[in-house]
Amino acid sequence: MATNEDYYKLLGVSKNATETEIKKAYRKLALQYHPDRNPGDKSAEEKFKKINEAYAVLSDKEKRAQYDRFGSAGFHQRFSQEDIFRGFDVGDIFKDMGFGSEDIFSRLFGGGGRRTTAYGPGFGGRPRGSTTINIEDLFGGGGGFGAESHAPAGRDLTLNITLDFMEAVHGCEKKIAYIVDGKRNEVTVKIPRGINNG
């Protein structure tokens, strides 16, 4: 979804803006256009994608230098969408905006339990993510869905879920298979938009 729009204009900052000014402008716009705050609004979702792309480039010194050197059109001729988001920590997008994984998982599953997420560059430098959830929460052990728990009381089952950047930003559903007492089980987990590291 590479855009040829001026990244500085998208974020409303000058070309000599500091990292702090860029982050502040991004944060304000990301809050304004976040899909959770604008459900069903395709134009807000599109704007959100564009400002994420702009921030991914302007918050990285090397990418910003290349962007400044070649301009928008030249930059996009040289760099793919994968290049733009390579090494971009999705956790930086949302951690300061109140869209934390604990809040999102509490809304989804209720109750307590261990939930962590970690993101960073994956194979070949592609952004990837990993989410750890307490399976007991999925089946009511933590006050979540209310179904009978498939794990004995006090026994935690933990799985890692790998997400690519776009899945983390836009949300997705993941089918997870796991084995308890020799029996294979499956569950579909809905990953909300904007999940971050925690």
Per-residue pLDDT tens digits for 6-60: 999 999 999 999 999 999 999 999 889 988 888 889 999 899 889 988 998 898 8
Question: Phi-psi bin for 180: left (phi > 0), alpha (psi -120 to 50), beta?
Answer: beta
Question: What pLDDT was estimated at residue 138?
Answer: 45
The vertex-73 CA angle with 86 and 168, nearest 5°, equals 30
Instruction: With cut-offs at 50, 70 and 90, classify the pLDDT of residue 115.
Output: very low
Question: What pLDDT was estimated at residue 126?
Answer: 45
Q: State the pTM of this model.
A: 0.47
Residue 177, phi then psi, degrees to nearest 5: -105, 140
CA–CA separation, 86 vs 166, rounded Å? 12
Residue ranges of domains in the chain, CATH in brackets: 7-85 (1.10.287.110), 101-191 (no CATH)
What pLDDT, in 10s, does the model give residues 133-156?
444 444 444 444 334 444 445 466
- Integer CA distances (angstroms), 77 to 58, 73, 81, in order: 17, 6, 11
